[in-house]
Amino acid sequence: MQVGIIGLGNLGTAVGNLLAENGHDVLGWEHNAAAVTEINERRTNERYLSGVALEPRLRATGDLAAAFDFGRVVFVTIPSAFIESTLGPLRGKVNPGAIVVNTAKGIDAQTGLTAFQMLRALLPDNRHVMLSGPSVANEFARHLPTTVVVAGPDMSDLLLVSRLLDNDYFRTRFSDDWVGVELGGVLKNIYAIGLGLFDGKEIRSVNFRAVYLTIALEEIARFGVAMGAKIETFLYLSGIGDLLATSLSAHSHNRRLGELLALGMHLPEIRAEMGVLPEGYNTLQAVLYLAEKQHVSLPLAKGLWDVINDRYPAERFINSFIKDFVE
C-alpha cells in the first residue's frame, strides 16, 4: 500500500521505516532539505534517528502536497505546535479518501484543541485515527518489542492501520476512547519533565519514583475523566504504559528538559541546546488553564510550571513534593 508521512523527525522516520520494512511504499515530507537529501541518497537520517539504516521503500520529499496525495493512509508525525501552520494551507485540497493517523501529542494554548481535534477541524472530509502508547522511536527502530494503541470510531479504519503496522516486533491494540488515548499521550509528557527534574538532582530512589509516577497517573486520570475520557484507558498502554516509557527513557526529550532545568538552565538556554522545546512544555500551560475551568486540581503540573518559569527554584519544588505528598 502507498503511505504518506508528514514529518520525518525521530518518530516519523521510525514509523516510515517500519512501514517500508513491512513492504509498503512510503513517501515522507520533511521541511529540512538536508534531511530529505540524506534519506534519499544515503539511506540514513543521522540527525533524527542515528545509526539506523533506512529501507529503499522509504523516500523523502520537500513537497507537502505530494506526500499527502501519495498515501491512502497518511501519518501526521510533526509536533502539535506546527499542525496549523503546516497543514492549514492544504485545507480543502486533500484527498478525502485518505485516512489520517495522528501521532502528535499536544494542546493548543489559544484554542484548547488537542492535536487530534485540530486535524479533524482542518481535514473534516477525512477519516481519522489516533495512535499512541509506549513507543520510543529509537527502540522500535531497532526491532525492540513495542505495542501501541490505535483509536477511532470506525473499526474498519483501525483494522487497516493495524495491518499496515503489525509485524513480529510491533503490535497494535484497539480502543474506542480516542479522547483518553490522546490525552494519555499528551499528559505523560508533562510529568516526564518532573521525573527528569528529580533525576537531574540525583534523586534516583526506586521508592521515590514509584510515588511520583503514581501521583502523576492520578492527576492524568483526574484531568482525563473531566475532559470526557474513560478512566480505564489510563490504566493501559496509552496511559500508564506511555507515562512509564517516556518518564524513564534516556531518549525522552521531555525528561531531558527536566534534567536541564535541574542543572539551573533557563528556557532560552534550553531552547538553544535542544533546538525546539518538547511537547510537554508547549502543552503544560494549556492543560493548567483547562484544569482550572474544569475545577480539576493538578498540583504536580502547577509546580512544574512554576519551576520552568523561574517562579521558584527546582529545589523548592522537590522539597515541597517530598513534604506534601510523601510524608
Residues 104, 197: one domain?
no
Choose, from 93, 105, 188, 230, the residue flagged as catalytic.
188
Cβ count within 10 A of residue 132 = 29
Number of structural domains, the chain? 2
Task: Please report, for residues 45, 108, 179, 249, 298, the alpha-carbon distance to residue 224 in angstroms, rounded to integers and kept in the order given.
Answer: 36, 16, 8, 23, 12
Predicted confidence at residue 308, as pLDDT, reads 87
Residues 81, 106: one domain?
yes
Q: Is the Cα torsion angle 184, 124, 58, 9 positive or negative in sign? A: negative
Q: What is the pLDDT of residues 29-82, one digit of tens each?
A: 999 999 999 999 999 999 999 999 999 999 999 999 999 999 999 999 999 989
Residues 40, 132: one domain?
yes
Exposed, middle or buried, 109 (CB in 10 Å: 0-12/13-18/19+)? middle
Residues 68, 111: one domain?
yes
Active site residue 188: yes
Residues 220, 183: one domain?
yes
Q: Which residue has the cell 521525573?
A: 195
Could you give the CA distance from residue 239 to residue 154 in angstroms, rounded to a whole number? 22
Residues 172, 185: one domain?
no
Q: What is the pLDDT of residues 126-145, one digit of tens each?
A: 999 999 999 999 999 999 99
Write down which residue in 111, 144, 176 finishes a domain: 176
Residues 55, 154: one domain?
yes
Predicted confidence at residue 326, as pLDDT, reads 53
**Would you place residue 327 in the very low, low, confident or very high pLDDT band (cuts 50, 70, 90)?**
very low
Could you give the CA distance from residue 15 to residue 26 in angstroms, rounded to a whole number? 10
Its domain, for residue 35, covers 2-176
Q: What is the pLDDT averaged over residues 288-299? A: 95
Q: What is the pLDDT averaged over residues 84-96? A: 91
- 3-state secondary structure at position 128: strand
Predicted confidence at residue 205, as pLDDT, reads 82
Residues 168, 191: one domain?
no
Residues 251, 281: one domain?
yes
Order of strands, edge to edge, in the sheet holding 73-76? 58-61, 25-29, 2-6, 73-76, 99-102, 127-132, 146-151, 170-175
Q: What is the pLDDT averaged over residues 83-89? A: 93
Q: Which residues are bridge partners to 174 per DSSP?
A: 150
Residues 169, 198: one domain?
no
Residues 194, 257: one domain?
yes
Q: Which residues are bridge partners to 28 per DSSP?
A: 5, 60
Predicted confidence at residue 93, as pLDDT, reads 87
